[in-house]
Amino acid sequence: MDMVEEAARKIETMEVRGASRIARFAAETLMNYALTIRGDFDAKMKKAAERLLNTRPTAVSLFNAINFVMRYEGKTEEEKRESLVRRAKEFIEWVDTAKQKIGEIGARRIKKNSVVMTHCNSSAAIAVIKRAFDEGKIEEVYATESRPRFQGHLTAKELSEYGIKVNLIVDSAVRYFIEDVDYVVVGADTITANGALINKIGTSMIALAAKEARVPFIVAAETYKFSPKTLLGELVVIEERSAEEVAGEEIRSLKNVRIRNPAFDATPRGYIDLIVTEIGAIPPEMAYVIIKERLGYAKIYDEEIVLSPNHFE
Ligand SMILES: O=P(O)(O)OC[C@H]1O[C@H](OP(=O)(O)O)[C@H](O)[C@@H]1O
């Protein structure tokens, strides 16, 4: 379990972060673990899967990755291992190919000489921006710093290295600059059955500002960011992280001050113009179809009923 425990800690501390990356990393970890264990395969894998699942609660990509890999089949241990490895590789390929497709499809929606605003650090949103830049359509980008973890710095660095001009702004300057922006492009941690977007805290304020200024709000999201559980009525759990991420000891120890640090928020579908997935650009109202047809929720429906607290029974 050492390998699994180490991977779980990397996700918890956000050494490995980003909805896609944690999903890919979890699939990889389950695969590598399956290759090392001997005997008691199902029980050991179940324990590993649960440990990884309990790291961060919000991004459904993690759940979908684990659920996908854990639906292995076979009678003997060797058959099960082979099936699991095959499924893990299939999921990893899904992650790797989806990004490129999202870039292609998303870039078609961007007009020439555009200014794009993005939030946090989303590999899917960046794929759209880079592709649009390759096609000569991007003039510059506004990247929010994304307090408290400053993932916006990663975005600024990556885009700058790609040759794209970036304005790094504080999160509260979004409305100040929104008039200069042609599109907002953000990523997703989860998309619910009713088409709402769960993404980095602050996303919903950007969506509000964009709607007011009539700036199209585009979400770049692989189909494994859609949540089958929400079809069963489950609400998305918003992760609240430690106060230490927000303020130093001096402030944290103040008698009447409580620090709140939700990592994500929800943007209702009415604020979203388009969701760019690897299988097409869709309106948020189509989330149900993606969940039903692409994720095959019917197949996991029975398992889902017993999903909490025992995901793989
Ligand atoms: O999958 P990709 O598009 O890379 O990222 C999707 C989202 O994951 C991140 O969460 P965190 O930084 O892990 O909390 C951000 O909220 C980002 O928009």
CATH number belonging to the domain at 100-294, selected among 3.40.50.10190, 3.40.50.10470, 2.60.120.920, 3.30.460.10: 3.40.50.10470
Q: Ligand 1 within 6 A of 225 CB?
A: no
Cβ–Cβ contacts within 10 Å for residue 73, how many? Answer: 11
Where in the sequence of the chain do the CATH 3.40.50.10470 domains occur? 100-294
Indicate which atom in ligand 1 lies nearest the CA of residue 239.
14
Per-residue pLDDT band at 187 (split at 50, 70, 90): very high
Length of the chain: 313
pLDDT surpassing 70 at residue 312? no
State the DSSP string of 139-160.
EEEEEE--TTTTHHHHHHHHHH
Active site residue 40: no
Among 2, 42, 120, 182, the active-site one is: 120
Nearest to 114 by CA among 169, 166, 186, 182: 182
Active site residue 189: yes
Cα–Cα distance between 7 and 55 in angstroms, integer?
10
Average pLDDT over residues 226-237: 89
Kindly report, residue by residue over 19-70, the tens digit of the pLDDT.
Answer: 999 999 999 999 999 999 999 999 999 999 999 999 999 999 999 999 999 9
User: Strand pairing partners for 159?
Assistant: none
Among 42, 171, 180, 189, the active-site one is: 189
Cα–Cα distance between 163 and 133 in angstroms, integer?
9
User: Strand pairing partners for 262?
Assistant: 240
- Give the closest residue (by CA) to ligand 1 atom 9: 18
What pLDDT is attached to residue 233? 84
pLDDT surpassing 90 at residue 232? no
Per-residue pLDDT band at 310 (split at 50, 70, 90): very low
Cα–Cα distance between 196 and 20 in angstroms, integer?
18
pLDDT surpassing 70 at residue 85? yes
Give the ipTM.
0.96
Cβ–Cβ contacts within 10 Å for residue 254, how many? Answer: 10
Cβ–Cβ contacts within 10 Å for residue 37, how many? Answer: 16
Nearest to 87 by CA among 74, 63, 61, 68: 68
pTM above 0.90, yes or no: yes
Average pLDDT over residues 206-227: 97
Instruction: Please give the CATH topology (third level) of the domain spanning 2-99+298-305.
Output: Four Helix Bundle (Hemerythrin (Met), subunit A) (1.20.120)
Q: Ligand 1 within 6 A of 151 CB?
A: yes
Average pLDDT over residues 291-306: 56
Lookup: tokens for 73: 């089949």
Please classify residue 86 by burial: count the beta carbons closer than 10 Å to its beta carbon, then call 0-12 exposed, 13-18 middle and 19+ buried.
Answer: middle
Per-residue pLDDT band at 301 (split at 50, 70, 90): very low
Per-residue pLDDT band at 305 (split at 50, 70, 90): very low
Cα–Cα distance between 309 and 122 in angstroms, integer?
30
Task: List residues forming the annotated binding site for substrate.
Answer: 56, 199-200, 225
Indicate which atom in ligand 1 lies nearest the CA of residue 220.
3
Where do we find the tokens 């106060």? 243
- Give the closest residue (by CA) to ligand 1 atom 14: 18
Q: Ligand 1 within 6 A of 17 CB?
A: yes
Q: Which of 11, 120, 261 should be mutated for ligand 1, with most atoms under 8 A from CB?
A: 120
Cα–Cα distance between 313 and 306 in angstroms, integer?
7
- Give the closest residue (by CA) to ligand 1 atom 11: 18
What pLDDT is attached to residue 142? 98
What pLDDT is attached to residue 309? 30
Cα–Cα distance between 116 and 137 in angstroms, integer?
10
Where in the sequence of the chain do the CATH 1.20.120.420 domains occur? 2-99+298-305
